[in-house]
Amino acid sequence: MTRHDPWRGVDRTMAKPITISLDAMGGDHGPQSVVPAAIEMVKKHEHLTLILVGRREVLEPWLRNVPRRVQSRLRVHHASQVVEMHEPPSQALRGKKDSSMRVAINLVKDGEAGACVSAGNTGALMATGRFVLKTLPGIDRPAIISAIPSRGGHTHMLDLGANSDCTPEHLYQFAVMGSVVAQAIYNIPRPTVGLLNIGEEEIKGNETVKSAAKLLNQSELNYIGFVEGTDIFNGRVDVVVTDGFVGNVTLKAMEGLSKMIGHYVVEEFSRNAFTKVMGLCALPVLRALKRRMDPRTYNGASLVGLKGILIKSHGSADAFSFANAIRIAMVEVEKQVPTHISALLEDHVGNRDEQQAV
């Protein structure tokens, strides 16, 4: 696989105004991460306006020393409630209609914002997004998709935690949406799609995976068959499809491995005076490696399958990480991703229905 620029195909010199709502109270750090990220992104992009949704008395002090030209594109929209990170989704949906999360999503539904970004409770975000924005025709459940670093570029993987139990039909829909995202956002003409399994042989896997493979074999997607965990990183496939349980565990394992490798590298170079000198010599290479493997660079997962754009940031995101989630939202707005998904999904589903009728 080669690297693909998500901004390719977007005229940056004639950028249209973009407005994005931010759940400023969500996540582990709330305004501490969200507001500095928002300020930085507005400074970099003159066509960008961000709506900070949350408690006005908490958010407004953060903007007092911001230059007026920047402050004019940072609006505070009051919301009196906050969805806690471990709060049950049903409780957040029914009992907190004025939460920063709910209000930020409502702004997308009402057309005041082109997208919403939140680092809040994943379950609550999925439930609220599905309730407020609704799913696209032909989609039973939205899924979480994100780019993951791989050899020569990155791999798109879904679902990363929205649906722990999936049917073969759900996995088929995930494959269609993943293919569309890779094509529309990252300009991959005909993305290769693989179904994550414990082996490449047709006899391996549970019945759900085997049945999903049959659906994918009958589709017009560029389906290459079963792939294993190693294929996520070797650049063999553009889109990896799995259920949310496996996807989320895989994602967290990647993050843990990345941190462990970083810890070991520092430990080894700090072992003695000689290794410290070698570490100084290797510092430019190590910094470049860290940038390529830093999970914060890939922060910002799309909840695909909804009628609006909803981006999930990691709950522990810092300002740098949250800014990347905003960047993903900007790309999706400029590329009109839901429109692409809806059109291409309709084509795939229509063709599949015709094949089944024959």
Digit-coded pLDDT (tens) for 174-231: 998 998 888 877 788 889 999 999 998 888 889 999 999 999 998 889 999 999 999 9
- Check whether 81 has a pLDDT greater than 80: yes
Confidence of residue 5 (pLDDT cuts 50, 70, 90): low
Residues 6+ apart with CB under 8 A from 119: 23, 26, 27, 28, 29, 33, 34, 312, 313, 314, 315, 317, 322, 325
What global pTM score does this model have? 0.84
- Check whether 2 has a pLDDT greater than 70: no
* Owner of token pair 């049945």: 211
- The pLDDT value recorded for residue 352 is 57
* H runs (alpha helix) in 199-243: 207-217
The 3 state secondary structure assigned to 119-134 is: CCCHHHHHHHHHHHHC
- Check whether 59 has a pLDDT greater than 50: yes
353, two tokens = 């229905």
Paired with 74 in beta bridges are 50
Comparing CA positions, the residue from 104, 89, 94, 95 lying closest to residue 26 is 104
- The pLDDT value recorded for residue 308 is 93
Mean pLDDT of the chain: 86
d(CA 98, CA 24): 13
Q: What percent of the chain has pLDDT over 90?
A: 48
- The pLDDT value recorded for residue 296 is 67
* H runs (alpha helix) in the chain: 31-44, 56-59, 68-71, 89-95, 100-109, 122-133, 168-184, 207-217, 244-269, 273-281, 283-293, 319-335, 337-357
Question: What residue type is assigned to position 214 of the chain?
Answer: K
Greatest pairwise CA separation for the chain in angstroms: 73
Most confident of 15-19, 128-132, 145-149, 233-237: 128-132
Residues 6+ apart with CB under 8 A from 80: 55, 98
d(CA 11, CA 276): 46
* Residue 327 vs residues 6, 88, 276, 301: alpha-carbon distances, Å: 10, 29, 37, 11
- Check whether 310 has a pLDDT greater than 90: yes
Domains identified in the chain and CATH numbers: 1-138+305-336 (3.40.718.10), 140-304 (3.40.718.10)
- Check whether 104 has a pLDDT greater than 50: yes
Burial (CB count <10 Å: 0-12, 13-18, 19+), residue 245: middle
* Residue 227 vs residues 154, 194, 198, 340: alpha-carbon distances, Å: 15, 6, 8, 27
d(CA 338, CA 341): 5
- Check whether 99 has a pLDDT greater than 50: yes
d(CA 112, CA 255): 35
DSSP letters, 139-194, are -SS-EEEEEEEETTEEEEEE-SSS-SS--HHHHHHHHHHHHHHHHHTT--SS-EEE
